[in-house]
Structure 1
Amino acid sequence: MQEIGSVRESGKWERGFRMEDIINKAIVFAANAHKGAVRKGSKLPYILHPLETGVIVSAMTNEKEVIAAAILHDVLEDTEVTYEELKREFGKAADYVCAESENKRRELPAEATWKIRKQETIERLQQETCLEIKMIALADKLSNIRSMYYDYNKLGDALWERFHEKRKEMQGWYYKSLVKALEDLNCYLAWQEYKMLVERVFGEE
């Protein structure tokens, strides 16, 4: 296995790069893509979130391409990595990432587009028939709500100041809507934990 530092230079993968395990390759790729980024309201490296997302997905499926896609799920939204680069390196896993990615509308202020972006995510997941894509979305949101629950217990309503949408009721609308949109996965502990934490942070319906 190659060392992380030798894998990518000037934003491009070396032609000689080979790795038997697509999951390990995804970890290296994501770590480089998110290098220097931190979690909101924290000094923790951002890569911890994609890694946790991958671990959560691995409890629902053994499919390596799906687990790799979970680890890579934010590279198209939040980094300079392109779909073409991801497709070249990861094949089908790139399609899972693309299907799960949100249209950020980067030309507009994030707070101005928050509701329409979240509404699109809810509707897309309601209509989604691919359980693997839903697994990645669930794992992503479970990782987020775990952090949110922990921080909410420490900070209370001051927590919402770190987000583009600062109204707790709107955050609650989004997270509660995803409980229903992802209900196809209610046989998994991840969905059950997600629902429980959403109710603890935002209250029951």
Structure 2
Amino acid sequence: MKESIQDIDVRACQFAEKAHAGTYRKGTNIPYMTHLEETADIVRTLTDNKKIIAAAYLHDVLEDTSCTVSDIEEQFGVDVARLVESETENKYHGKPKGDTWKTRKEETIHHLQDASVETKMITLGDKLSNIRSIERDYEQIGNQLWERFNVKDPQMHAWYYRSVCDSLKELEGYSAWKELDRLIKEVFNQ
């Protein structure tokens, strides 16, 4: 029996929790699921569309787990699968992450220029959650924070976050976009 569309976000949360079980935020003992919940909560401030919220919960399963687009499509339908796929970064598996970092980020920025507003909402939720985490951790450990990342130069992260924020300008009327913009300025002293 097929569950109703109203339950799709709840099912996506449960699916993501299983897929990311035992994983943590970089350099912390904070369960990775907290990022996915925060991303979905931010997306809820932008839309009440359950499919977009479901995709927010699932936005990292293709990048970080063994799940495939077919798995998502089978469980949540084509619309959710396409949204997750649209927000997924090419990880260039087999190549060192530090070597592909700038290429991956440039591809993300380029993709966002023509992405749907739904994809942009998920990206906004993801990046706002990430920058909140960066801000909190920076207050605690300072420049040591950058050692967690494949690219350790904070100015490269500043470039990336500013470029993403600018690519999401279509959403500048939302408080989430304004918070992202403000935190980028604060974290990177812009």
Fold conserved (TM > 0.5)? Answer: yes
Corresponding position of 2:21: 35
Number of aligned residues? 188
Match of 2:110 among 111, 123, 132: 123
1:203 aligns with 2:189: yes
Report the TM-score, using the length of structure 2 for normalisation. 0.96
Counterparts of 2:178 and 2:34, CA distance in 1? 22
* Higher RCO (CA < 8 A, seq sep 6+): 2
Counterparts of 2:20 and 2:3, CA distance in 1? 21
Counterparts of 1:32 and 1:127, CA distance in 2? 32
For residues 26-69 of structure 1, give each alpha carbon's deviation from its aligned partner in whole angstroms, at most 9, with x where no partner exists. Answer: 01100000000011111011011011100000010010000000
Counterparts of 1:18 and 1:126, CA distance in 2? 35
1:23 aligns with 2:9: yes
Corresponding position of 1:72: 58
1:97 aligns with 2:117: no
Report the CA distance between 1:127 and its aligned residue.
2.3
Corresponding position of 1:111: 98
Report the CA distance between 1:156 and its aligned residue.
1.3
Counterparts of 2:2 and 2:19, CA distance in 1? 16
Counterparts of 2:152 and 2:67, CA distance in 1? 29
Match of 2:144 among 133, 158, 163: 158
1:141 aligns with 2:127: yes
1:61 aligns with 2:47: yes
For residues 65-89 of structure 1, give each alpha carbon's deviation from its aligned partner in whole angstroms, at most 9, with x where no partner exists. Answer: 0000000000001000011111011
* Letter in structure 1 aligned against 2:145: L
1:191 aligns with 2:177: yes
C-alpha RMSD over aligned residues: 1.2
Corresponding position of 1:181: 167
Counterparts of 1:110 and 1:196, CA distance in 2? 28
Counterparts of 1:31 and 1:184, CA distance in 2? 31
* Letter in structure 1 aligned against 2:133: S
Report the TM-score, using the length of structure 1 for normalisation. 0.89
The share of aligned pairs that are identical, in percent, is: 47
* Structure with greater helix percent: 2
Report the CA distance between 1:107 and its aligned residue.
1.2
Determine helix, strand or coil for the equivalent of 2:183.
helix
